[in-house]
Structure 1
Amino acid sequence: MSLYSPLFGAYDSVEKVAGEGDNAMEVIEVNYDTDSMDDFIVPDAPCDLGRQLQQCQPAGHAEAMGRISGTPHGKEKSAEQMDAIVAICRQRGDMLVVMRTGGGKSMLWEIPPLIGFEGISIVVCPFKILLDEQYERCDAAGVRSHNYSISKVVPENVQNIFVQVEHVGSDAFVQLLASPMGQRIKRIFVDELHDVAHGHPKRRPRWDVLARQFSALSAKIILMTATCPPLAVPHFLKPFDMRPKDVLTIRGPTDRPEIGLHAIRVLPTLQNVPLHQIVRALHDRLEQHERMLVFFNTKREAEMFAKASGSAVFHSDLWEAGNTKAYNLDRWDSGDTKVMACTTAFTQGINRPHVRFVVVFEPDLGLLVTMQMVGRAGRDGVESHAFLVGTSTTMPYAVKGIGAYQCNFLTVQLMLTNQCRVYTSMKYLNRVGMPYECKDHPSRVPCDNCDPFGMIHKSACAASKITTGPIQKLWAPLATEAAAPSLLTPGHGAKVRAVPAFARRQTRRTELPTGATCRHTA
């Protein structure tokens, strides 16, 4: 099996790797003959995805790119995005697409109808807020879309149907699949695939129903996520009755080069004073439009922090008048407080572009969930920072096997390693050949191990040493922007780092990760 792209040349044949028989995995390896790692995917001259799509559909591509991007020439965000679009348009079968947060996965279901491909696409998203945003964006691009959570009456001329996991098992949806309209379903996009393994326990049986329903159809299934370690692929595919050797996998690096990773160990205190001090120190560096998230493992912890600090709070059980999720989001968005204390509920489809700091307190929910929290930062591509703050003094035992990625042992390794934290996280989440250290790319925002004397890290560490004293409220906006120095530079108004160019191009390899371990410090 081979693919071709006019921009990047011929793809190598898809190879079987990672074991024998059912455990063999198909991946695409792209050769870049003349391009360096420092180049952008998109050259300065206009280069639209229509050139790639000409191989699939000769007409309408320029208009489609313009509708989606809002510019005369739509441009791909990464090689992985372009690979996936070409493969979908060539109907290459079931696929697994792993792309970093903000990598442009939505274009995968927007392109086919806009360039004239027949058939209906179903787009599944487990999070209603995100699903509504996806529907509105797709509809605005000119795709005839339908939000099934709003109305169960689907128009005959529909092109994309947006559904939640809960909808698929309903009698009405089963009847839709069995109707003549159901026979026109050609593509099924399942977004946020990691929710299968890490979502709410009550939603897991519904995922099983969804997988059974869609696996029985002849439509191509495209599974998408930002976090799926290579060793976890069989686990993620199992509910859909898929095997790695039967799935075309397109995988890009998951690193977010605009986010600096930090880890701080603090002394446990009754009121978590060191945590409050860290948050206050970071809060005072925020500019007027910038925001901050503090993640907790439980609703009770988030509420206690919010009550003590005056910050907003967000979790799945906010319903009382004057303290709903909408009320707290409005407080946070409006700037009444720049800090949101939250649980993993905030990772379920809520994205804001100007989150500069993310603090994860006592990260104990596994590496994938932790990195989903970290990924809330820097959505606008501007330098941001994520802090893992822990009080634990012992490491959990290691769990071996395919489910090891779920264990918080890997998160503890990320916290305790004296190696580059970027390399340590990428080692588990990416294929061999993709992980790199901060020092390999000077334009990347360094982690604290690679830049222990960085201004942001030093100020947070100094604050963490304070174990007594009053907890200051965080609801009052800063008096003037001058009172809040620029987050990332010594002088207010100085230039901040944008997304490093090297992050726009990565060479994908066919090797699987080895069992290499990282070093620890006591």
Structure 2
Amino acid sequence: MSNHYLEILKKYWGFDQFRPLQEDIIRSVGEGKDTLALMPTGGGKSITFQVPAMAKEGLCLVVTPLIALMKDQVENLKKIGIKAAAIHSGLTYNEIKVTFDNAIFGGTKFLYVSPERLSTDFFLEKLPELSINLLAVDEAHCISQWGYDFRPSYLKIAAVRELIPEVPVLALTATATPQVVEDIMKQLRFKEKNVFKKSFARPNLAYVVRATENKKEQLLKILQSVGGSAVVYVRSRKKTREYAAFLQQNSITADYFHAGLTNASKDEKQRKWKNNLTRVMVATNAFGMGIDKPDVRLVVHIDAPDSLEAYFQEAGRAGRDGQKAYAVLLWSDHDRVQLRKQVSTAFPEPETIKRVYDALGNFFQLPVGAGFQMVYDFDIGKFCSAFNFNILTVYNSLKILQRAGYLTFSEELDIPSKVIFLVQGNDLYKFQVENEDLDPFIKILLRNYTGLFTEYAPINEADLAQKMGVTTETIYKALAKLSKLGIIHYIPRRKTPLIAYTQSREETRYIRLPKEVYEERKLKYQEQTEAVIEYGSTDYICRSRFLLNYFGQGNSDNCGICDVCLSRKKRGLDETSFQTIETAIEKLLKKQTMHADELIQSLPFNDTQIWQVLNWLEDHGLIGETESGELEWLK
């Protein structure tokens, strides 16, 4: 069977061999076992469900919350000749119906579904008709209350499993603590525990924390001393533009990226950066999903992220080619203050959250008891000014209402215009003959796009206008007219966040924010931000070891290349000697305090070397002196 998998890999993806762990996961799935795969970003996760699904009859159902990623993967699969489609809240009922019909009768091999669609009657009704060979759950940490991005709609996957009990599940995530790993298997009803873990260690990646109050100057210094492609992460859209302009003024080619840009603009910026025409991309965390550029030499965080999970994933975009790379966090006291403030921003008071919920119902003119499974375009700016809310308060309240299962909130979707033909063959020909004015528009559609009779095809009006030598406005009008006449169904492009009600509108007094959605979650969030603060302000634990410990990979060695390890090397000792002496000192001083001379006599090492380690430990606040002048271990 293994050879068969290799043939598929070679035929469609052009690779001669699997990356470490990929084949083990594929084999496990191929044998029908429920499987959880922990693979750091860029480890080739999608191959692990795409290859085994191609080896079997039937369709692979892929659950993922990221619509942008869905669109990318569907396009990539189509490019290599594999039929794929996606279903999410941004589609009309008719589009969803056509997509399902194609999945049932038309040989769709991969059907991507956003989690909130799983519980719709329509989906559950059609599910038995789909011949499913594998259920792949991407971003599987979203199913766990303890994951850093919990989504209640993921809990519906268990009910879907009951309807297809024979189908194995492959759960995928890039970052999960041991607690989350256990929880994923429990929530997905694994028949037996089965985890494949790629070590989180990245031996070629040097983690560095730089304490600085002047981040711009520091960033410039770093970029001048480390060559190659770079990503710089900041918190706000405004900062992406500011920092990109600052770098350009200092003769470094830079561009900026955030979720609010048009798709065309995003594609162009990514293309230039991928092809090294732009050296530095200054971005919010919207940049990186599905970005696979192996030769990124440097990832700098200007602002600290609010969890080590997020940091590890973003920093891990450096050095995927295995060559030396750097992940730098610029840290200041302001970050500590900001992160702690972030907790109250991310968790508005329960009363405020309820007020947002109530205002939302009024905004959509939705009566109490109505709205179940309704989807609305949502202009957050208009909403805030109509009800006098702060934009961050609304954003975070919606996230909490989503966790409590009342609605789903999809940010900034850019959904291209789409067309499907409702008339074909002789009837279409007859119409063309009778409507000369509309005939050219029908012809240009048929010439430029395929599959128009069987599925909704994304189209670009500006392209068509250019090809016909007319204005975009003329194209819009002609397509709208054809749509009105029932020849085509035309859905113009929408760029908007969406709100979908997962329950009918409740009276505010009945809105419940359970402990696990609010209080426990807030505590967990606090722990996560404190872990980031500890990482940023600790300068005596090897950075790599610190991160690996956090993800439950204990007893790892010092990396030897982070800023902490390098500061030890400056003492002229190699890593092993330093660590051996440090461990011996710690053991003695944890038992009792003692004078330095006494300590040195008790240890079987060179006196000078012991002094060097003692000095380093004192500089980094690990040991101190008692009033009587004895040394004590402080941490």
Cα distance 1:400–1:128, how it changes in 2: closer, same or farther (>3 A)?
Answer: closer
Cα distance 1:404–1:234, how it changes in 2: closer, same or farther (>3 A)?
Answer: farther
> How far is the alpha carbon of 1:520 from its aligned partner?
7.1
Partner of 2:203: 257
Cα contact 2:255–2:281 (8 A) shared by 1? yes
**After superposition, what is the alpha-carbon deviation per residue over 1:221-249, rounded to whole angstroms, capped at 9, x for unaligned?**
211011111122244456x4547x84322
1:386 aligns with 2:327: yes
Give the one of 7, 23, 44 matched to 1:104: 44
Instruction: Tell me, in whole angstroms, the C-alpha distance in 2 between the residues paired with 1:195 and 1:306.
Output: 33
Cα distance 1:330–1:97, how it changes in 2: closer, same or farther (>3 A)?
Answer: closer
Partner of 2:137: 190
For normalisation by structure 2, the TM-score amounts to: 0.51
Partner of 1:231: 179
**After superposition, what is the alpha-carbon deviation per residue over 1:33-53, rounded to whole angstroms, capped at 9, x for unaligned?**
xxxxxxxxxxxxxxxxx5xx3
1:420 aligns with 2:542: yes
Cα contact 1:230–1:430 (8 A) shared by 2? yes
Partner of 1:22: none
Partner of 1:409: 530
Aligned length: 375
Instruction: Tell me, in whole angstroms, the C-alpha distance in 2 between the residues paired with 1:200 and 1:101.
Output: 16
Structural mapping, 1:488-503, within 5 Å: none
Cα contact 1:358–1:376 (8 A) shared by 2? yes
Cα contact 1:253–1:430 (8 A) shared by 2? no
**After superposition, what is the alpha-carbon deviation per residue over 1:442-465, rounded to whole angstroms, capped at 9, x for unaligned?**
xxxx2122224999xxxxxxxxxx
Partner of 1:462: none
Cα contact 1:110–1:143 (8 A) shared by 2? no
Instruction: Tell me, in whole angstroms, the C-alpha distance in 2 between the residues paired with 1:428 and 1:200.
Output: 14
Partner of 2:291: 350
Partner of 1:77: 19
Q: Could you list the runs of 5+ residues in structure 2 that have no partner in the other structure?
A: 249-253, 344-518, 571-618, 623-635
SS in 2 for 1:345: coil
Higher helix proportion, which one?
Answer: 2
Cα contact 1:312–1:341 (8 A) shared by 2? yes
Larger CA Rg, structure 1 vs 2: 2
Cα distance 1:286–1:278, how it changes in 2: closer, same or farther (>3 A)?
Answer: same
Partner of 2:565: 450
Structural mapping, 1:283-298, within 5 Å: 283-285=223-225, 290-298=228-236
The amino acid across from 2:136 in the alignment is F
Instruction: Tell me, in whole angstroms, the C-alpha distance in 2 between the residues paired with 1:171 and 1:200.
Output: 29
Instruction: Tell me, in whole angstroms, the C-alpha distance in 1 between the residues paired with 2:525 and 2:87.
Output: 37
Give the one of 312, 318, 324 matched to 2:261: 318
Structural mapping, 1:265-280, within 5 Å: 265-267=211-213, 274-280=214-220
**After superposition, what is the alpha-carbon deviation per residue over 1:391-418, rounded to whole angstroms, capped at 9, x for unaligned?**
1276989999994796122223323141
Q: Could you list the runs of 5+ residues in structure 1 that have no partner in the other structure?
A: 1-49, 55-59, 268-273, 440-445, 456-518
Instruction: Tell me, in whole angstroms, the C-alpha distance in 1 between the residues paired with 2:173 and 2:547.
Output: 17
Cα contact 1:85–1:111 (8 A) shared by 2? yes
The amino acid across from 2:544 in the alignment is V
Give the one of 179, 186, 207 matched to 2:154: 207
SS in 2 for 1:438: coil
> How far is the alpha carbon of 1:85 from its aligned partner?
1.5
For normalisation by structure 1, the TM-score amounts to: 0.61
> How far is the alpha carbon of 1:437 from its aligned partner?
2.0
Give the one of 300, 313, 318 matched to 1:372: 313
Aligned alpha-carbon RMSD (Å): 3.9
Percent identity over paired residues? 23
1:438 aligns with 2:559: yes
**After superposition, what is the alpha-carbon deviation per residue over 1:350-407, rounded to whole angstroms, capped at 9, x for unaligned?**
3323321111123141110111110121233322111011112769899999947961
Cα distance 1:406–1:227, how it changes in 2: closer, same or farther (>3 A)?
Answer: farther
Instruction: Tell me, in whole angstroms, the C-alpha distance in 2 between the residues paired with 1:314 and 1:215.
Output: 42
Tell me which of the two structures has the higher relative contact order, counting C-alpha pairs closer than 8 angstroms and 6 or more residues apart: 1
**After superposition, what is the alpha-carbon deviation per residue over 1:320-364, rounded to whole angstroms, capped at 9, x for unaligned?**
x99x53454355446564222222211333332332111112314
**After superposition, what is the alpha-carbon deviation per residue over 1:176-218, rounded to whole angstroms, capped at 9, x for unaligned?**
314x22xx213111122245569998x9354344554456542
Cα distance 1:214–1:299, how it changes in 2: closer, same or farther (>3 A)?
Answer: farther
Give the one of 102, 105, 111 matched to 1:161: 111
